[in-house]
Amino acid sequence: MWHSSQRSSPWRQWYQPGVPGELDIPDIPVTQLLDDAAERYPRRPALLFFGRRTTYRELRAAVDRFADGLHRLGVQPGDRVALILPNCPQQVIAFYGVLRRGAIAVQHNPLYTEEEMLHQLADSGARAAVVLDRSYATVRAVRAELPLEHIVVTSLADFLPAAKRIALRLPLARARRRRAAITADVPDDPGVIPFSEMQRQPQGPVRQLEIEPSRQLAAIQYTGGTEGRPKGAMLTHRNLVANACQQHAWDRESRPGEDVTLAVLPLFHSFGLMSCLVAPVMTAGAVVLLPRFDADRMLGAIRKYRPTIFPGVPTLYEQLLDSPRFLPSDLNSLRVFISGAMGLGQSTIDRLERVGAKGLINCYGLTEASPAVSANPLGGKARNLSVGLPLPLTEAVIVDQDEPTRVLPPGEPGELVVRGPQVFAGYWNAPLATAQSLSKGWLRTGDIAVMDEDGFFTILERQRDMIKVSGFSVFPTEVERILRRHPAVHDCAVVGVPDARRGERIIAHVVEHPAYLFSADELRRHCERYLSHYKVPAEFRPRTELPRNVLGKVVRRRLRDEIVNSPA
């Protein structure tokens, strides 16, 4: 079995001074982080939502009321409760309320289609759901096939000051009509109640149900489904608390009760859940909630609330810098940019440096690790073309893909395998997939990576995205990097599709630059100048845009499926 000793862990020498190699993870439920913050900083703002300020004392009281409401509905410890909400106070209240009750939060994208929603709700077996009014029709359409007994419906307008409804393009009259629709129409369906019903004052004190944090699930987070159907990653209370402790230990400049986190990343995604909710609450930080990305609203929030921490993805940073309203001074309050979920390119790094951004660190994680695994060090030692160093208490090795028991030396690419207290408990209802991914606490990430002599890791490719042409391995990102050098290529994505003669053939999907005409022959000649012949795409397909997930990451699976499932 794999082993990572102090001698084989060269990364610790590059930790920022003060970052510990070892940590004591408290044996507590996730809700204890909220309780501690409310005790120490009761008047400190916990949530900032379009001008509405919710203190930690108010948040804890709202969580307790919601947990009591779940009790009245008959929700028991271990029951799954679906949260189908964007970033809003109700999402935070419901998440902690579910955990307070000893139940399991299962989060979903409120923009899911009926098919996507049906699969995940059926797989988790959720008894109750908390749904944004705009998503209720989707849930209603599939409810007959589900064990859902209770549906709590809410609107973004419910937690907005009247004057701010205009900011969300919800004029007061329209908001009244929306509430009237919920009151008049939705309750006609059995088991449907408004969110306000879950905020009735409890008859007595609400306490956290006793749990065993290392065994009790806090959340089931569905993976992005890069290959096949999404699987539910089972995260325990200890997983989430441990990852919050690891992130807190990494940031030596953090000051409890002082930081402000800009929550543009969706909280229903594991990156957003940890970096924009669980970790900030651990340090009693304020969270600025934005339901969706909009450059103007984001700039307005930055100027009003002066955030100190900005978790994001490279495309999000690029869109911010592209805004005609952006000023370099907008970044003055920010001391940390946490970049993750997709590769961080040199051009984005350069652009942020030119406008004076400080504290940019490229990080790596995956849903199965709660999600953070590694990060670049703060304090000016970041090597942001890599994904940095394993976090405290995290072991990592590179193994041979064909002989996974063989650990590879620095400089040789292979599959990244990790172990730590943040690694999940397995996949929900998928014992075979769990056995294939987990072995004695070690998680096979499926990512192809390389570690240098100093212990910095660089992700080369998702194993499932790697293309095999006549027995040769081709990394799509390598081909994409070459393609992007050509002035005609505004954006691109490379995938492999089955080929009877060569195993797979390479297809390049290209979004052309508006100033250039698309020419497949010219792009082919360009690739032939820089790539081995087997890496040159067999076909170049023009597109107006590339399919992306909620974080802006290109979904190669959809591109493959379009070709594989198209008529011959």
3-state DSSP assignment of residue 433 = helix
In a domain, 128, yes or no: yes
Whether residue 371 is preceded by a cis peptide bond, meaning omega within 30 degrees of 0, is: yes
Residue 68: what pLDDT?
97
Q: Indicate whether 189 pLDDT > 90.
A: no
State which of 183, 210, 237 marks the end of a domain. 210
Q: Indicate whether 503 pLDDT > 90.
A: no
Q: Which segment of 293-297, 309-313, 429-433 scores lowest on mean pLDDT?
A: 293-297
Neighbours of 476 (CB within 10 A): 23
Q: What burial class does residue 3 get, using C-beta atoms within 10 Å of its C-beta: 0-12 exposed, 13-18 middle, 19+ buried?
A: exposed
Mean per-residue pLDDT over the chain, rounded: 91
Instruction: Give percent of the chain above pLDDT 90.
Output: 74
What is the distance of C-alpha 375 from the center of its chain?
A: 15
Residue 4: what pLDDT?
56
Q: Note the pLDDT tens digit of each residue in 224-268.
A: 544 456 899 999 999 999 999 999 999 999 999 999 999 999 999
Q: Which segment of 76-85, 190-199, 464-473 scores lowest on mean pLDDT?
A: 464-473
In a domain, 108, yes or no: yes
Give me the mean pLDDT over the 203-223 stretch: 92
Residue 6: what pLDDT?
42
Query: For residue 532, what pLDDT band results from cuts at 50, 70 and 90?
Result: confident
Rounded Cα gap, residues 290 and 276, in angstroms: 11
Q: Indicate whether 12 pLDDT > 90.
A: yes
Q: Residue 190 maps to which CATH number?
A: 3.40.50.980
| Full-model pTM | 0.85
Give me the mean pLDDT over the 383-404 stretch: 95
3-state DSSP assignment of residue 532 = coil
Query: For residue 185, what pLDDT band results from cuts at 50, 70 and 90?
Result: very low
Q: Note the pLDDT tens digit of each residue in 321-349.
A: 999 999 999 999 999 999 998 888 899 99
State which of 185, 210, 235 marks the end of a domain. 210
Which residue has better confidence, 429 or 465? 429
State how far the alpha carbon of 204 is from the alpha carbons of 64, 200, 201, in Å: 10, 12, 9
In a domain, 175, yes or no: yes
In a domain, 318, yes or no: no
Give me the mean pLDDT over the 88-104 stretch: 98
Count of domains observed in the chain: 2
| Structural domain span for residue 88 | 56-210
Q: Indicate whether 171 pLDDT > 60.
A: no
Ranges 56-70, 493-507, 554-568, most confident: 56-70
Q: Indicate whether 535 pLDDT > 60.
A: yes
Phi-psi region of 546 (alpha: psi -120 to 50; beta: other; left: phi over 0): beta
Q: List the 80-84 sheet strands across, edge first.
A: 192-194, 150-154, 128-132, 80-84, 104-107, 217-222, 232-236
State how far the alpha carbon of 360 is from the alpha carbons of 8, 263, 336, 412, in Å: 27, 17, 6, 27
In a domain, 190, yes or no: yes
List, in order, residues 6 or more apart from 9 with CB less than 8 Å away: 390, 395, 455
In a domain, 202, yes or no: yes
Give me the mean pLDDT over the 475-500 stretch: 90
Letter for the amino acid at 326?
Answer: F
Q: Residue 534 maps to which CATH number?
A: 3.30.300.30
Residue 401: what pLDDT?
85
Rounded Cα gap, residues 274 and 369, in angstroms: 11
In a domain, 339, yes or no: no
Instruction: Give percent of the chain above pLDDT 70.
Output: 93
State which of 210, 233, 266 marks the end of a domain. 210
List, in order, residues 6 or more apart from 67 with CB less than 8 Å away: 97, 98, 100, 101, 206
Q: Indicate whether 178 pLDDT > 90.
A: no
Residue 111: what pLDDT?
87
